[in-house]
Amino acid sequence: MRMAIPRTVREDFPIFRRRVHGKPLVYLDSAATSQKPRQVIEALVRYYEEYNANVHRGIYTLAEEATAKYEEARRKVATFIHARRPEEVIFTRSTTEAINLVAYAWGLHYLREGDEILLTEMEHHSNLVPWQIVASLKGASLRFLSFDEEGYLVLDDLERVLTERTKVVAVSHQSNVLGTINPVDEIVKRAHDVGAIVVVDGAQSVPHMPVDVQKLGCDFLAFSGHKMCGPTGIGALYGRYELLEAMPPFHGGGEMIQLVQLHTSTYKDPPWKFEAGTPNIADAIAWGVAIDYLCEVGMEAIRTHEKELVQYALNRLQEMAEVKVYGPRDVERRGSALAFNVADVHPHDVAQVLDQEGICIRAGHHCTQPLHRRLGVAATARASFYLYNTEEDIDQLVAGLQRVRELFSRVPR
């Protein structure tokens, strides 16, 4: 099989020199967090060694260098997702914080009693719990779009669940369990027809495929740096500028103000209105370097590589009758997160046995308890791939699952 990305890419990631329990590291948990290339690690060190200073404040050389690099990172993020201007990108701690920002700053200001928020049954808790809280505070109600046996959203139900009372549609671009890539552009058009805004959870899509917010037409997009070769603790919210301009602040404090008096304050324009206090400077700058890295590899190449890996993994796992895989089989309509279960073996046990073979997977409900209830299981195991994974990693996974089968076939029932 032709691989879309050269194997030398793996050499950029120092962690793959690591051995776990004496075995070479096989990292299959990139949906939780990605590994970091040395270029990103060096960028973090360089900031702290060469120009560590606060941004937007000092007029000395270090502060000006830090500010320039910080705002350069914002421009890189904006360009990466095809935002119209850098000011449409707000730095946050994570996808979770970005969604909470919209839920509170937009939701508390604009939602009214009786309004409806439309979600899907495959949402990550980060795109569910904030809307539950805000709906409770405002007297709004939640409605849900279901998914079918193959893991696709039932778009025919939009006619029923999307109404003139719908004010927000919040949807994941790609499921972190089923791998389903949802038709966000179609959902956006239908939502806008009834006057609703659309909030997209891009945590699993932005790192793995080209994403263009203008083509999607979404009003907000939330995503994280740590899932796309960047550091932890840094994420972003894209928002259409006119919406950001009309929203009140999320946090109050230093740096987001124009004028403060004892009883009133006025605020800066977006995005700085939403970035109170000292931001995560080093990680924002290093995230910009991670974006440079991904662009050099090429997002189309990454997407092609992952489709090849997923197809190979689906083929290999089909060889094992005891393994049930969830989500679409069509690699054109799914991403690189692959949830599965081994018959009569708890996912936690699967993960522990695989760990002894040096293989890292996730086991649990993956912050999607409602989705797992729909599947009729409490938990799943999940392997997820990225640009540094190879067919050999999948072969090791399959060999590890055969080891699981051998061990648990000896356990008395």
DSSP code string of 265-292:
EEEPPTTGGG--SS--HHHHHHHHHHHH
Secondary structure of residue 409 in the 3-state scheme: helix
**Is 295 labeled as catalytic in the residue annotation?**
no
HEC letters along 330-379: CHHHECCEEEEEECCECHHHHHHHHHHCCEECEEECCCCHHHHHHHCCCC
Q: Closest Cα to residue 232, out of 224, 243, 242, 240?
A: 224
Interstrand relation of 257-260 and 265-267 (parallel, antiparallel or unpaired):
antiparallel
Kind and range of the H or E run holding 384? strand 380-384
Tell me how far apart the alpha carbons of residues 61 and 405 are, in angstroms, rounded to a whole number. 61
Tell me how far apart the alpha carbons of residues 147 and 157 are, in angstroms, rounded to a whole number. 10
Secondary structure of residue 232 in the 3-state scheme: coil
What phi and psi values does residue 307 have, to the nearest 5 degrees? -60, -40
Of the listed 218, 295, 360, 367, which one is catalytic?
Answer: 367
Peptide bond before residue 24 is cis, with ω within 30 degrees of 0: no
Tell me how far apart the alpha carbons of residues 33 and 250 are, in angstroms, rounded to a whole number. 26
Cβ atoms within 10 Å, residue 139: 11
Task: Answer yes or no: are the C-beta atoms of 63 and 53 closer than 8 Å.
Answer: yes
Per-residue DSSP letter, 88: G
Query: For residues 225-247, b (16+ Cβ closer than 10 Å) or e, as one string?
Result: bbbbbbbebbbbbbbbeebbeeb
Tell me how far apart the alpha carbons of residues 99 and 242 are, in angstroms, rounded to a whole number. 18
Beta-bridge partners for 291? none
Q: Which residues are catalytic?
A: 367
